[in-house]
Amino acid sequence: MFATFLLKESGKRGTAILKSDSLTGPFHPHSDEIVTPKDWFSLDGTLYIDEGGMPWMVFCHEWIQVGDGEICAVRLSKDLKKSTGEPVTLFAASEAPWATSFQHKTRNTRKNYVTDGPYIYRAENGGELLLLWASFVDNIYAQGGISRSSTRKITGPWIHDEKPLFSSDGGHGMLFHDLHNQLYLTLHSPNKTPNERPVFIKMIDSNGGIRRQDDE
């Protein structure tokens, strides 16, 4: 399990890796420490295995530290106990045409762009390498338009869709196939604790990419 923690010493956030013999736990530390940089505000790490079989973690460098939030990737050791090398910035939130800056009551001297909940998906039959993530559109939480690696490699460059997949106060999306092999996007909405509920959107994987089924 990749989980975000608040660090006692610095008050910053980072991602560590846990393990368990059961899906229901208990979970115990697997990585030696957090695998994101200790001096960063980072969250939402997710595992990606590249075409050479090497593990990476894709994660968010938070807007509260950099203003224009970033999606980053870092190589992991084969045993998933530590990061190896320096993080690579894949893109910043403002590079996506659908994302807009949002107002924050205590950080109001700059434009703030959020990156949240990255999820990597390889389309079927050797298709595109896709990255789903969330941000804000006109101060409303949104599941973003799909980002696509033009090289089909994790380091990109990344090209961004024009419009978000879901703009009704929901995000942090992930993809899964049900028992009948139907592809779904699941996300939480509204973005307000404790009212979050799961939303399920049928998707289609075809022609090397994915799209909402109701877009047909």
Say if 195 falls within a structural domain: no
* The total number of structural domains that make up the chain: 1
Q: How many CB atoms lie within 10 A of CB 12?
A: 19
CA distances from 175 to 42, 52, 71, 132 (A): 22, 23, 18, 9
Which CATH number does the domain housing residue 74 bear? 2.115.10.20
Buried residues in 23-33 as b, exposed as e (16+ CB within 10 A): eeeeeeeebee
pTM of the predicted protein model: 0.94
- Structure confidence by residue, pLDDT tens digits, 137-157: 999 999 999 999 999 999 999
Say if 176 falls within a structural domain: no
If you count them, how many residues does the chain have? 216
pLDDT < 50 regions, the chain: none
The whole domain housing 156 covers 2-166
- Structure confidence by residue, pLDDT tens digits, 166-183: 999 999 999 999 999 999
Tell me what pLDDT residue 103 has: 78
Q: Tell me, what DSSP letter sits at residue 210?
A: E
